[in-house]
Amino acid sequence: MAPGWAERFAPFEGVAYLDAASQGPIPLAASRAGREALALKERPWRISSATYVSAVSEARALAARLLGAREEAVALVTGAGQVVNAVARGLDLGEGDEVVLARHEFPSNVLPWRWLARRGVAIRVVEPDHPAGAVSAERLAEAVGPRTRVVAFAHVSYLHGGRLEPGPVVEAARRFGAITVVDGSQAAGALPFDFGGSGVDVYAASAYKHLLGPYGCGLGLFSAQVLDRLAVGDVNWLAVKGAEDYDHLPAHIELKAGAQRYDAHETAAFFNLLPFVESLRLLLEATPAAVQAHARALGDRLLARLPPGFAAASPLEPAARSHLLCLRAQSSAGTLAAYERLRAAKVWVSLRGDRIRVSPHLYSTDEDADRLLAALS
């Protein structure tokens, strides 16, 4: 266990919870904030105009600090898919344009791009060059060409847990004037990331995984350059200059600067944002670097003691390894049987394809890992 963090979460009732990649548990402080948000709605006369402003500004500021972004680069959204769709709709793509995707992306970062095929946009899928099923940054960069307008990929894969460092892809995309759209849902909160220094154009992350936030909220990070290129499909009235004065709406609609133009409607959703603020506070206190180191240490413990018949199914090279670790038996049937043994032993992991995906976090312990190993045996 990372020192001192277990008591910041509710008891796990005998479950060895190793599935933050599916649902990260919210910290106790976030639960308290959620109850306070419910109390506000029970007694709505306590809701003031400051409530709407403070919830939004605090969440935006904390997210910016956590991910190395300027506050004006952060949009508060309902999930990663909202961000990807905003970009897919906002670019003027058509016949002759190409979107490059890595194979085995999560549907949120695939389907909005494939939908553009109706306009004649070509979708090019890059096949893996790693035995675990991962596409390397170099392989993806090589696929970028004169017709490429977008390169979309996951920072950390939901399927095999491999990490793809954006640098080579960003460089290749810039050579051809293409933009990079990175799904950070399996990375944000558990992997140090400096959005401002990365060169990435758009970074999307759902909050309910390693960010330990509520379901139904997320973050979108937008570079200043990409904001100049994107049209706005939905107009959030709070993103319009002067719209706070209901009785004297501006004659000419002009959007405020920055990414808040892509905020979710009803941005200050108390039930989500007030708990999310506390989750972000905890992660800033702990640091994503500590989360990463702790999760990898538990992964090392598993790898050193894997019983016969099981092997890693994730990239383990330093440049591609992440906090997620996938395992598999010698057959798909064997992997499924092992997964069912784990559930029976109250060891909570995910089954993704023919892999068992293990995703620890700050609260995870050596004992959790040892229970997993015992169930596999």
Task: From 103, 126, 129, select the one nearest 315 (Cα to Cα).
Answer: 129
Instruction: Name the domain boundary from 238, 268, 284.
Output: 284
d(CA 362, CA 369): 13
Q: Does residue 255 lie within any of the structural domains?
A: yes
Q: Does residue 33 lie within any of the structural domains?
A: no
245 in the same domain as 160: yes
Q: Does residue 174 lie within any of the structural domains?
A: yes
Percent of the chain at pLDDT > 90 equals 91
* Domain extent for 327: 6-18+287-376
198 in the same domain as 271: yes
Mean pLDDT of 30-49: 95
202 in the same domain as 153: yes
Identify the CATH number of the domain in which residue 258 sits.
3.40.640.10
User: 77-116 pLDDT, tens per residue?
Assistant: 999 999 999 999 999 999 999 999 999 999 999 999 999 9
292 in the same domain as 274: no
- 115 touches 88 (CB < 8 A): yes
- Say what the pLDDT of residue 3 is: 57
Q: Give, in order, the Cα–Cα distances in Å from 56 to each of 52, 157, 260, 276, 277.
A: 7, 29, 10, 10, 9
331 in the same domain as 267: no
CB within 8 Å of 322: residues ≥ 6 apart: 156, 161, 162, 163, 186, 187, 190, 191, 292, 314
Q: What's the structural domain count of the chain?
A: 2
CB within 8 Å of 36: residues ≥ 6 apart: 274
User: How many CB atoms within 10 Å of residue 83?
Assistant: 31
Mean pLDDT of 252-280: 94
Q: Does residue 32 lie within any of the structural domains?
A: no
217 in the same domain as 303: no
50 in the same domain as 175: yes
299 in the same domain as 205: no
User: 151-175 pLDDT, tens per residue?
Assistant: 999 999 999 999 999 999 999 999 9
Residue 1 has pLDDT above 70, yes or no: no
Q: Give the H/E segment covering residue 219.
A: strand 218-222
84 in the same domain as 10: no
Query: Which phi and psi (to 5°) does residue 278 adopt?
Result: -70, -35
Q: Give the H/E segment covering residue 357.
A: strand 355-358
Q: How long, in residues, is the chain?
A: 377
Our measurement of the distance from residue 245's CA atom to the centroid of its chain's CA atoms, rounded to an integer in Å, reads 35
- 78 touches 86 (CB < 8 A): no
User: 321-377 pLDDT, tens per residue?
Assistant: 999 999 999 999 999 999 999 999 999 999 999 999 999 999 999 999 999 999 999
Instruction: Name the domain boundary from 284, 315, 346.
Output: 284
d(CA 76, CA 46): 24
Q: Does residue 27 lie within any of the structural domains?
A: no
220 in the same domain as 119: yes
Q: Does residue 198 lie within any of the structural domains?
A: yes
Instruction: Name the domain boundary from 226, 252, 284.
Output: 284
136 in the same domain as 56: yes
* Backbone Cα Rg of the chain: 21
Identify the CATH number of the domain in which residue 296 sits.
3.90.1150.10
